[in-house]
Amino acid sequence: MRVVVVENDKEMSREAANLIQERIKEKPNSVLGLATGSTPIGTYKELIRYHEQGSVFFSKATAFNLDEYCGLDGDHAQSYARFMKENFFQSIDIDSENTFIPKGNAEDKQVECERYDALIRERGGIDLQLLGIGENGHIGFNEPNDLLSAGTHRVELDQGTIEANSRFFDSYEEVPKSALTMGMGTILKAKEIVLLASGVKKAEAIRGLLSGKISTKNPASFLQLHPRVTIIIDREIADAIQLNQDIA
Ligand code: F6R
């Protein structure tokens, strides 16, 4: 596992965007796994900038998002489909036919989850998965639990996750309480993974991820089993966990 420590969000976004840009240049028809949330917004901004400068093109790329809230249709202001459109897709040349996100309002959630995994397989699997991380160590919406699911599935969100996400809604009551998310197997099958984290609130989750131990109570800790992971964290986290680069 490669750990990169950066000084601030700007540097984090640039590191991540450079890595994604490099991969797209090596393989223009890359299949990207993408995340929502505050963390990757800067990365998307950087990639948009690179695209506008003519240095990266996405016309042959495919994108699969990690997750979507249940019960929100794709046009809802807080849906992840809308987030991706507004923060990234509408400003680059990706073909909307090649952008996928689980349908959170599908009538049969089980069928939708199976369809999503089959679609990822049909497209040859994910080449590069971009991840954020929850304060509790969740990746996608794989919340800490006794058992974790391998495939895309429906999940009840943790109290803390609902509270953290309520900042985007008018009230706590409006935050959906469940979501569809890629499972741990879906994520770990990606050929390469890059995880971003900033701010001391994420320090405990990152400590678990670098601990050398794997626990379903910190889903991100499973990334230690993957052969090609880059973790980009800020100095605040590195200092809080007294990161010794050797443990990476
Ligand atoms: C979003 C996702 C989540 C977020 C995590 C961190 O698609 O899958 O796992 O990455 O909740 O969110 P932020 O970046 O808002 O701190």
pLDDT tens column, 28-67: 999 999 999 999 999 999 999 999 999 999 999 999 999 9
pLDDT tens column, 181-205: 999 999 999 999 999 999 999 999 9
CATH architecture assigned to 2-240: 3-Layer(aba) Sandwich (3.40)
How far is the centre of ligand 1, averaged over its atoms, from the C-alpha of 115 (Å)?
23
37 lines ligand 1 (CB under 6 A): yes
Q: Fill in the amino acid letter for 230.
A: T
140 lines ligand 1 (CB under 6 A): yes
Name beta bridge partners: 154: 180
- 129's CB contacts (< 8 A; 6+ apart) are 32, 33, 187, 190, 192, 193, 194
Q: What share of the chain is helix, strand, coil (3-state, %, to 5)?
A: 40, 20, 40
232 lines ligand 1 (CB under 6 A): no
Q: Which atom of ligand 1 is nearest to the CA of 35?
A: 7
How far is the centre of ligand 1, averaged over its atoms, from the C-alpha of 193 (Å)?
15
Strands, E assignment, 39-166? 62-65, 67-69, 99-100, 128-131, 153-156
pTM (2 d.p.): 0.96
CA atoms of 167 and 162, how far apart (whole Å) = 9
Q: Where are the domains of the chain?
A: 2-240
- 19's CB contacts (< 8 A; 6+ apart) are 128, 194, 230
